[in-house]
Amino acid sequence: MDVVDGGVDRGQNPRATMERDSDDKIADPSWFSPKKLLFVFCVVNLINYIDRGAIASNGVNGSLGTCTSTGTCSAGSGIQGDFNLSNFQDGVLSSAFMVGLLVASPIFASVAKSVNPFRLIGIGLSIWTLAVVGCGLSFDFWSITFCRMFVGVGEASFVSLAAPFIDDNAPQAQKSAWLAMFYMCIPTGYALGYVYGGLVGSVLPWRAAFWGEAILMLPFAVLGFVIKPLHLKGFAPDDKGKNRTDNLNVLPTGYGFSAVLKDLKLLLVDKVYVTNILGYIAYNFVLGAYSYWGPKAGYNIYKMENADMIFGGITVICGIVGTLSGGVVLDFMDATISNAFKLLSVSTFIGGLFCFAAFCFKSMYAFLALFAVGELLVFATQGPVNFIVLHCVKPSLRPLAMAMSTVSIHIFGDVPSSPLVGVLQDYVHNWRVTALVLTFVLFPAAAIWFIGIFLNSVDRYNEDSEPDAVTRESAVAPLLEEA
């Protein structure tokens, strides 16, 4: 299977085509095929979100100590118990990684123009690995918060660059499905994190959960440095930062801060991009708080004895089926930006109705049935929403578009939602009311994405990467050859 970098332009001259054919014949196929690339990125993404789920699990996050009216007190457990954290501090801890992600994402996206993007992923994963080791060695609220910030720094390179690599190497008719496979790892990772955290917390100190994550990630951090560098559409440099002369369509010429500001301006004036991200922010506001507070809410509302396992199991099944279904359905509909907005608005609205209705029932079984259907529909958005991010901008803007998408949905979405839900719960002392208020936010998300259907949208995947780029005569060769 040949995975081409956007195909050949209709106006391409015959000499360029012959040069490409000649280059392809003499090139040695890489063992690192597109499917292997997808597998590696999926596993890394899975580990990233296992970490998110583990720190939210009852086994790792724990609870504060309690005292009865008779004066009998029980010790707290996990991070919250050991460091005596309020619900607000606990919510802040879940969002601390965002500080590093906010600062580092635009930097990695910009540096990708002068340093091979695959090497940047290796650097980021190395930082991530060291940071989670530090979480296991932390001794108070501030030390673990500091380490969580560097977890965000390490994650920044991966979230900015992995999806463009996948988009470049996916078969043309399966781009949404491949993206869906990658983003399927988000709910699956969260769910496995709940289970992993619950199991580790029941037999070992909570710190061991972070050290286990570091062991899992280390081989992939090393892989980023030892494998032959892969090249991203619109970006020319090799791992030493020198401009290459093979397999290039364009050579970006602006690497400085002013170029980043110029690119940011292009994103901010793009109505399709902005509308998509606004809906994504509202959506992630809900999903972020669900993922962090879900096990505690389930335990308190429905007296679930194994809330970590139950929420983990539901999220794994619904996350896998829902996310994959969203990508497959979009490919079946014809993967266009307009169709992606249709799928986003409909699935989020109906999914929101099911989730809202679920929290209205007092029966745990009715709740689980309705909530499972709601999550199935809500998770169907992952492939389509990121398809829009990648295809509404020029190729050279994709890493920055992904970086700013990630930063935006966190800094305006799940970062404030976790502590705000904690504050609301501290005020109302009723998890059912808190959950209903939170779930209602899904409806504005659906409304925003519905507006996107009527915008003038153009798929810009095959446009030149840079307006001021140095254009080569030869066409782009495949980034990877099928092994």
Find residue 127's DSSP bridge partners. none
Q: Of 379, 340, 346, nearest to 175 (Cα)?
A: 340
Q: Of 17, 461, 475, 22, nearest to 249 (Cα)?
A: 475
Q: What is the pLDDT of residue 387?
A: 92
Identical topology for domains 30-64+77-233 and 260-461: yes
Q: What is the pLDDT of residue 291?
A: 74
* Residue 244: how many other CB atoms lie within 10 Å: 15
Q: What is the pLDDT of residue 217?
A: 95
Q: What is the dihedral of CA 261, 262, 265, 269, to 10 degrees?
A: -170
Radius of gyration of the chain (CA): 23
What three-state secondary structure class fits 477?
A: coil
Q: Of 53, 129, 106, 155, nearest to 256 (Cα)?
A: 106
* C-alpha atoms less than 13 angstroms from C-alpha of 141 in its C-beta half-sphere: 15
Cβ contact 190:382 at 8 Å? no
Q: What is the 3-state secondary structure (H, E, C) of 132-193?
A: HHHHHHCCCHHHHHHHHHHHHHHHHHHHHHHHHHHHHHCCHHHHHHHHHHHHHHHHHHHHHH
Nearest-angstrom CA–CA distance, 417 and 423: 10
Cβ contact 259:385 at 8 Å? no
Q: Would you identify the CATH topology of the domain 260-461? A: Growth Hormone; Chain: A; (1.20.1250)
For domain 30-64+77-233, give its CATH number from 3.20.20.450, 1.20.1250.20, 3.40.50.620, 1.10.760.10: 1.20.1250.20
Buried b (16+ CB within 10 A) or exposed e, 408-442: bbbbbbbbbbbbebbebbeeeeebbebbbebbebb
User: Angle at CA 414, nearest 5°, toward 348 and 55?
Assistant: 115
H-state helical runs in 172-252: 175-203, 207-226
pLDDT tens-digit series, residues 197-231: 888 888 888 889 999 999 999 999 998 888 776 66
Q: What is the pLDDT of residue 471?
A: 35
Q: What is the pLDDT of residue 74?
A: 66
pLDDT tens-digit series, residues 158-175: 888 888 888 888 887 888
Q: Where are the domains of the chain?
A: 30-64+77-233, 260-461
Instruction: Look up residue 76 and give its amino acid.
Output: G
Q: Chain-centre distance of CA 116, in angstroms? A: 21
Q: What is the pLDDT of residue 468?
A: 41
Q: What is the pLDDT of residue 6?
A: 41
Sign (positive or negative) of CA dihedral 400, 401, 402, 404? positive
Find residue 251's DSSP bridge partners. 470
Q: What is the pLDDT of residue 73?
A: 59
What three-state secondary structure class fits 91?
A: helix
Cβ contact 280:409 at 8 Å? yes
In this prediction, the residues of the chain whose per-residue pLDDT falls under 70 are 1-32, 58, 64-76, 229-257, 308, 312, 463-483
H-state helical runs in 249-336: 257-268, 271-302, 307-333
